[in-house]
Structure formats: C-alpha cells, structure tokens
Amino acid sequence: MPERYYRLGCDIGGTFTDFVLLDDRTGDIRINKCLTTPGDPSDAVENGIRDLEKAVPGFVKELDEVIHGTTLVINSIIERKGARTGLITTKGFRDVLELGREIRYAPYDVFAEFPEPLVPRRFRLEVDERVRSDGSVIKPLDREAARGVVQELIHMGVESIAVCLLNSFENPDHELVVKAIIEKEFPEISISISYEVLPQIREYERTSTTVTNAYVKPLTGRYLSRLSKRLESMGSRGKLFIMLSSGGITSVETAAEFPVRIIESGPTAAVISGQYYGKLFNIPEMFCFDMGGTTAKSCLIQKGMASVVPTFEVGRVQRFMKGSGLTIQVPVVDLMEIGAGGGSIAKVSKMGTLQVGPESSGAEPGPICYGRGGRDPGVTDADLLLGYLDENYFLGGEITLDKEAARKGVEERIAKPLGVPFIQAVWGIHDLINETMAGAAKTHIAEKGGNPKVATLIAFGGAGPVHAYGLAKKLGLSRLIVPPNAGVGSALGFFTAPRAFDLVRSHKAALVEADFAQIEGIFWEMEAEGARTLQKGGSTEEIRFERSVDVRFVGQGSETPIPIPEADFTDVKKEDVRNRFDEIYKNLYGRTYPESAVEFVNFRVRASLPERLLQLPKAERGEGSVQDAVKGRRKAYSGIAGDFIPFTVYDRYRLFPGARFQGPAIVEERESTVIVGENASVSVDEFGFLWMELG
C-alpha cells in the first residue's frame, strides 16, 4: 500500500465551500473555492475536489485524512429543517422547553418574542418515574408504560426521539431502559438520551441540548454517510474527521452520534487559525475576524488562547439579545457571529433608513452582480461599485461580475427610495456593514475585558480582507494582518486543530465531605470514554487528559472552573483545591469569601491526541522591486477623501518577503482582495503575510 501524505481541509459556508490541500512532505499548499450547493452540500465537496485534481492529479488516492467543517447543522436549526422529533420526559416536566430559566431577555418589551421549541407540545410525552438529586429512586419506571409512550410517538410519525428524565445525570438507569426499548422494537428510529449527550445538572439546558441533538441527528447522519461514500467512490481511503465547536476534531462516527457538538464547526476553524498564527508571531492579544458570504465571525484571543465557554445560543430572535435563542450546553469557542457577509442584503427599513443584513442572498441566487437571478443589492455589489473588486478577477476570473446590473439594483432599490445620491447609497452599504460589525466586536471585546487598542486584527474569509481596514479604523486598532490564502483561512485552521473530545459529569458534593476516591472513579470513567471516542478514528497514539472541576460557594448559582493538574485525584489535598478556588475567584471578582463553604458541581475532562503541526512554507525572496508586482491603477472610493481616488493594484502572488508599499492600494489574490487606505502602510514577511500599519 503506497504511503498517504496529503491532508485535505474542507469548509462548507453559507455561500462558498473552501478547500485547502496540504502536502505533509513539502508543506506545499493548494487551495480552491467553489459555490456551495445548498440542496446537497456534498455536491460542492465533490466539485471542489475534482477541480483540485486538475492541479494535483491523483491526490485523492493519497489522502491520509479529510477534515471537514460544515454549517449544515446550524442552518437546519435556524431554518427549522430538522427531523420530526419527540421528547420523553419525567411527569410534570413536559413544558420545560418553554419555561426555560423563566427570564425575559427584554423585561420592558411586552412584544418580546421567544424562539419556538424544536419539539411542539403534542410531541412531548411524560413517563411516571422519579429519581432524587442523589440518584436514589423514588418511583421506579414502569417498563410497559414507557413502551406505550414510545409507541404513541411512533404512531405520531416522529423520526427521532429525545429522552431527558429528571436527575438522570446521577442515575441513568431509567433513560437506558427507554433507549433499550426503542433500539429493540423500533431500530430505525434515531435516539438521543441526555445521559450520553449532556450528563450535567440544570434541567432546561440538558433538555434543550438533548432535543437539539435529536432534531439534527437523522439529517447529519445521512449527510455524513453520503459524504463518506462519495469520498470512497472517488478513490479516497483517508480517514474523515469533523471539526468540533470546541476547537478540536473528531471522528465521523462521533459527529454523527453527537451532531450538537458540531454546530459551530465552520466558524471555529478560523479562530484556531488565528490562535496558531498568534503563537507563531508571539502576539498575545489578537482579534480574529472572519467574514464570508453569509456571516461575520469574530473572537478575541487573549494570552495566546481562545477561550472555550460551556454554553451558547442558536437562532436568536434578536441577534444581539442574550436569552432570545435556543440554549445549547456544549463546549464551544467563545466567538461572536452576526449576519454580515458579502451576500448580506441592503434594503430600506420600515423606518425609512438604510438596513444591511442580517438576511443574506447566500449562494443561490447570490448578490445581483453574480448574475444568478439575485434582485436585492448586497455588500458584494457595493464593494464592486466602490472599485474594491475587479469584475474580471473575482475568484481568479472564474466568475465575471455584472457591474451594470449591480449599479441598477442599488439605484432603484436604495438610492431612489432614500432620496440620496447614488454614491452615498453605495458607500452607505459598505460603511454600515462595517459599523454593524464594529458594534458587535466592541461588545465582544468589552465582555472579555479586552482593549482593542492593544490587539492585532487578523482577517480571514473572502470578504474579510476587503472590510478589515474599515473595521480596524472603527475599532481604533493600529495593526492588522492578512495571511496568504485568507479567503480559505477557516479550512487552514483544520490542520492546526487537535483531535480532542470534551466530557462532563455533574455530581454535587461539598468539598469538606467529598469522597475523593469516588471522584477519581468519575474522572477515570470519563477518561475511558474519551479514549474510546478518540480511538474510533483509528488512532493508536498516546492520549493526553486534562482535568478540571467546576466549584462554587454553597447556594451560589454559577460555578468557577478550577484546573486539576494531578493525574490522580486522591493525591489532591482539600486545602489545595480551596486555595486554588479562592485565588481564581479573587482574580475574577476582586475578592473571595474564605469563611463560606464551597462545593463541587461538575467534573470535566478533555481527551486529546498529539497535534500534527502545520509547517508554513516560506515565500521565495524576489530579486526585483515592488513595482514588478503592480498590476495597474484604478479608481476606488476613499472614505477619508470622500471621493474616488487612484489606488495602486498589486498582484499578491508577485509580492516577496521584505516588500513595502504605501496606501492607497488594492492587493488581489484569487480568493480575496485586501484594501489599504491612504493612511496605511504594508510590509510582507517571510511567510508572505501582509502586515498593515494604520496611521
């Protein structure tokens, strides 16, 4: 069997599907970008691989692994295209999805809307059982009654069933009985039980997460199975891995079983890229900005690490309002995502003002200038009309943009209805989307306790480098970086992500009374499960485990995570745990309370394999001058001058390490375009990164 030395990263976005092919022998990188096929995303995957094969014949048979990120899961939730799902819960808890935490996200808005539960009430049935918070059984589960409830849901036509019984994180026996009934009598029905999806305290979050997993599980399973078969039919024998929301990668089998963990798989990859580059250049404070065709994602990386949070929301009714979405409690990289992309639609609002996004034209039909039937002007149309994009060099010339159609669309749908000059309407679209992204970024940075003036912005995505300069100005940043192949930056992040899986178990115990031998047993069980999960990918490498515990004051409503470096919990002293908690708590909140008792709530383990490092190839040093990279000059709009002025256009592929130039400038590569304002200067480093300093 020949040695396999290629790795392929594939990121499916709302508008484009990105590909990066890495040759592990040489570090050589080949990239491709094609339009996403919403009807069947695997069509775009095959189309993109076929295109890559023209440049690298026969690479598919030499693939070692394919690492994949997709927006399929989150889109199916937002668009409500998942399976018809039923919920089986404890008697009296049928309405927990609607009760939630009983908190109004907008307490003074009498018209505040909340997202509809993924499972309508008629598909939520109860079983008469009860388990105490310590795991002891008050009322045993009646097996025949449970079978009757399952049969009732089947007769109602459900495709997937979620099971979430009270306190099952301490004692899962009743959930396992229901699972056994379904697997034996209705093996074609998909099932998700909360003990396997999220064995963690807090009933609403556990139920919501389990239901979400069940809702998308059939769709995800079919898609991943279809994708695997298509890769095999093309000759690939490489392992297929999926990006997790937490920043690791996992086997396709695990992703199909727990699709709720890959909701943010695509957006997370760009953050992992930014984290890798931050370590490479020793930049501790970095603001990662990824703008594609549908959404813009941003994340503040502090001390070289992107933080991972235990919960997030999907499908918010009010995009900036915490509490207006569906709560998902799985580990996820802490990023801000808003509906701002190249396809974001510009329109006149009901108030008679300009509005851009969050609706997007996506890949079909796309902005007007794509010539695919789009009628609503979008951000890409504005960028083209401002002179930032070359209509004959979009995607390296694969797509010719229709400038005249874009001009007509903005004139008729924006400028005339608003009664403003045409150029004011066009610049307004570009500047307003920058302002929207800056507002979201400021909120995110403030929540993390960061300072935008000391951070370095790094731009990814097809539209990110076009808007990075304008965003940096609004945030007050003085430096930004644009890596090579920024248009496929998310797909590059797959190669720097570790193969990892996060596990959690809830078990409340006061520190002074806790049985550390019992807790070591909990850790050992999680580590064994983590090892089994990672070994599904066929790995035989040594697995590393990182432990932590969530601790709180007795009676407190939130926990503080405490790292546990010791390999055996029985070696840990109780006073050491208390000291670590007090130190971390004081750093977070300014003071602690030594006289108040504390308790354990959750125990966490991250199981991971050694990282396969990405060796960035160094760019070749040129012998000529920077003028050799000049493609020409064209007029583009300057926000500073308030008019069109000449911009020098550079071919990025001809820029060499050490090259320097001053704005106003436009740097073009196949997948993205970099805009440089007249008060900015650019230098090129040894890896081909553009470093822009703003005056």
**Residue 2, pLDDT score:** 44
**322-362 pLDDT, tens digit each:** 777 888 898 888 887 777 778 888 998 888 889 887 777 87
Rounded to whole angstroms, the Cα distance separating 69 from 654 reads 31
Q: Is the pLDDT of residue 1 over 60?
A: no
Averaged confidence pLDDT in the chain: 89
Backbone angles phi, psi at 432, to 5 degrees: -70, -40
Rounded to whole angstroms, the Cα distance separating 45 from 228 reads 11
In a domain, 68, yes or no: yes
Instruction: Calculate the CA 664 to chain-centre distance.
Output: 33
**215-273 pLDDT, tens digit each:** 999 999 999 999 999 999 998 888 899 988 888 888 889 999 999 999 887 778 888 88
Q: Is the pLDDT of residue 320 over 80?
A: no
Distances (CA, A) of 358 to 12, 355, 513: 19, 9, 52
Task: Answer yes or no: do 123 and 226 share one domain.
Answer: no
Q: Is the pLDDT of residue 537 over 90?
A: no
- Domain count within the chain: 5
% of the chain at pLDDT higher than 70? 98
**Identity of the residue numbered 85:** T
Rounded to whole angstroms, the Cα distance separating 679 from 180 reads 67
- Look at 91 and 293; give whichever has higher pLDDT: 91
**297-312 pLDDT, tens digit each:** 888 898 888 888 888 8
Task: Answer yes or no: do 598 and 670 share one domain.
Answer: no
**Residue 389, pLDDT score:** 94
In a domain, 396, yes or no: yes
Place of tokens 């003036």: 453
Q: Is the pLDDT of residue 78 over 50?
A: yes
**39-57 pLDDT, tens digit each:** 788 888 898 899 999 888 9
Handedness of CA 440, 444, 449, 451 (dihedral sign): negative
The whole-number average pLDDT for the span 535-543 is: 75
Could you list the residue range(s) of the whole structural domain that residue 382 is in?
344-431
Task: Answer yes or no: do 200 and 227 share one domain.
Answer: no
The CATH number given to whatever domain includes residue 15 is 3.30.420.40
Q: How confident is the model at residue 528 (pLDDT cuts 50, 70, 90)?
A: very high
Q: For the CA atoms of 209, 210, 212, 215, what is the dihedral angle to 10 degrees? A: 180
Last residue of a domain, one of 555, 574, 608: 608
Rounded to whole angstroms, the Cα distance separating 289 from 41 reads 25
In a domain, 476, yes or no: no
Q: Residue 68, CB half-sphere, CA atoms under 13 Å: how many? A: 28
The whole-number average pLDDT for the span 651-680 is: 92
Q: Is the pLDDT of residue 447 over 80?
A: no
In a domain, 16, yes or no: yes
Burial 130-149 (b: 16+ CB within 10 A, else e): bbeeeeeeeeebeeeebbeb
Task: Answer yes or no: do 97 and 199 share one domain.
Answer: yes
% of the chain at pLDDT higher than 90? 53
In a domain, 280, yes or no: no
pTM: 0.82
In a domain, 308, yes or no: no
Task: Answer yes or no: do 208 and 247 share one domain.
Answer: no
Range ranked top by mean pLDDT from 109-118, 285-294, 596-605: 596-605
The CATH number given to whatever domain includes residue 109 is 3.40.50
The whole-number average pLDDT for the span 161-168 is: 96
In a domain, 313, yes or no: no
Last residue of a domain, one of 212, 238, 254: 212
Task: Answer yes or no: do 23 and 55 share one domain.
Answer: yes
The whole-number average pLDDT for the span 201-210 is: 94
Of the listed ranges 37-41, 58-62, 463-467, the least confidently predicted one is 37-41
Task: Answer yes or no: do 82 and 200 share one domain.
Answer: yes
**Residue 213, pLDDT score:** 96
Task: Answer yes or no: do 517 and 636 share one domain.
Answer: no
User: Is there a contact between 463 and 292 (Cβ–Cβ < 8 Å)?
Assistant: yes
**Residue 622, pLDDT score:** 66
Q: Is the pLDDT of residue 71 over 70?
A: yes
Q: How confident is the model at residue 100 (pLDDT cuts 50, 70, 90)?
A: confident
Backbone angles phi, psi at 224, to 5 degrees: -65, -35
User: Is there a contact between 402 and 365 (Cβ–Cβ < 8 Å)?
Assistant: no
Task: Answer yes or no: do 93 and 208 share one domain.
Answer: yes
Q: Is 139 left (phi over 0), alpha (psi -120 to 50) or beta?
A: beta
**Residue 18, pLDDT score:** 85
The whole-number average pLDDT for the span 448-454 is: 79
Q: Is the pLDDT of residue 4 over 90?
A: no
Task: Answer yes or no: do 354 and 418 share one domain.
Answer: yes
**Residue 374, pLDDT score:** 85
Closest alpha carbon to 487 in 56, 16, 96: 16
Last residue of a domain, one of 431, 459, 488: 431
**109-137 pLDDT, tens digit each:** 888 888 889 999 999 999 999 999 989 99
Backbone angles phi, psi at 230, to 5 degrees: -65, -40
The CATH number given to whatever domain includes residue 581 is 3.30.1490
Burial 155-173 (b: 16+ CB within 10 A, else e): eeebbbbbbbbbbbbbbbe
Of the listed ranges 158-172, 573-587, 610-624, the least confidently predicted one is 610-624
Distances (CA, A) of 325 to 70, 98, 110, 631, 652: 21, 12, 17, 48, 42
Task: Answer yes or no: do 191 and 83 share one domain.
Answer: yes
The whole-number average pLDDT for the span 363-385 is: 88
In a domain, 505, yes or no: yes
Task: Answer yes or no: do 553 and 655 share one domain.
Answer: no
**Residue 454, pLDDT score:** 85
**Residue 613, pLDDT score:** 67
Rounded to whole angstroms, the Cα distance separating 530 from 543 reads 9
Which residues make Cβ contacts (< 8 Å) with residue 623, sequence separation at least 6? none
Which residues make Cβ contacts (< 8 Å) with residue 388, sequence separation at least 6? 466, 636, 637, 666, 673, 675
**Identity of the residue numbered 233:** S
